[in-house]
Amino acid sequence: MATILVIDDQLTIRSFLDTLLRRKGYEVLLADGGRKGLELFRRERPDVIVLDLNMPEMDGLTVLQQIRSVDLKQPVIILTGTTNQKKEQQVRALGVTECVEKHFPLHRLEEVLKGLFKNPDPVTEQGLLPKGRG
């Protein structure tokens, strides 16, 4: 069973994704902020991280930079409530798998996750990097 770490400061988003992803058969880890998310990432080594871009204390960009300092190939899906072209370019430069708006159609997140697990060697030009667990 694949493990997904959800890092988001909004309880409603965490709860919603927890319910949705568990119903789809994933094991879900939840973090209410960047520091806790990094702790869970380092300890649990999830298959995929769903990361909120805009959080107080430690934003998603900072969390992503910390993740990349440990694992350059960790699949990360960025969630954002607002479109910020500059931040989106920065996270894409760090090799995120995908950026998805929080007010997304549910099938969009499902498509991204299915693509990750069906294709263990995604095409680098599409921004999908394999995790590289040995």
Q: What is the pLDDT of residues 47-57, one digit of tens each?
A: 999 999 889 98
**For all residues of the chain together, what is the average pLDDT?**
82
Asked if residues 28 and 22 have their Cβ atoms less than 8 Å apart, the reply is yes
For residues 130 and 73, the answer to whether their CB atoms sit within 8 Å is yes
What's the pLDDT score for residue 127?
38
Residue 4 lies in a domain: no
Domains of the chain: total:
1
For residue 105, what are the domain limits? Answer: 9-49+57-85+94-126
Q: Is residue 134 part of a domain?
A: no
User: How many whole angstroms separate alpha carbon 49 and alpha carbon 29?
Assistant: 9
- Give per-residue pLDDT as tens, 83-110: 677 877 888 888 888 888 776 656 667 7
Task: Find the CATH number of the domain harbouring 110.
Answer: 3.40.50.2300
Residue 68 CA to residue 35 CA, distance in Å, equals: 15
DSSP 65-84: HHHHHH-TT--EEEEESS--
Over the stretch 10-43, which tens digit does the pLDDT of each residue have? 998 899 899 989 998 999 999 999 999 999 999 9
What pLDDT band is residue 130 in, cutting at 50, 70 and 90? very low
* Position 41 in a domain: yes
Q: What is the pLDDT of residue 126?
A: 38
| pLDDT score at 109 | 73
Extract the runs of DSSP E, i.e. beta strands, from the chain: 3-7, 27-31, 48-52, 76-80, 98-101
The answer to the question of residue 2 being in a domain is no
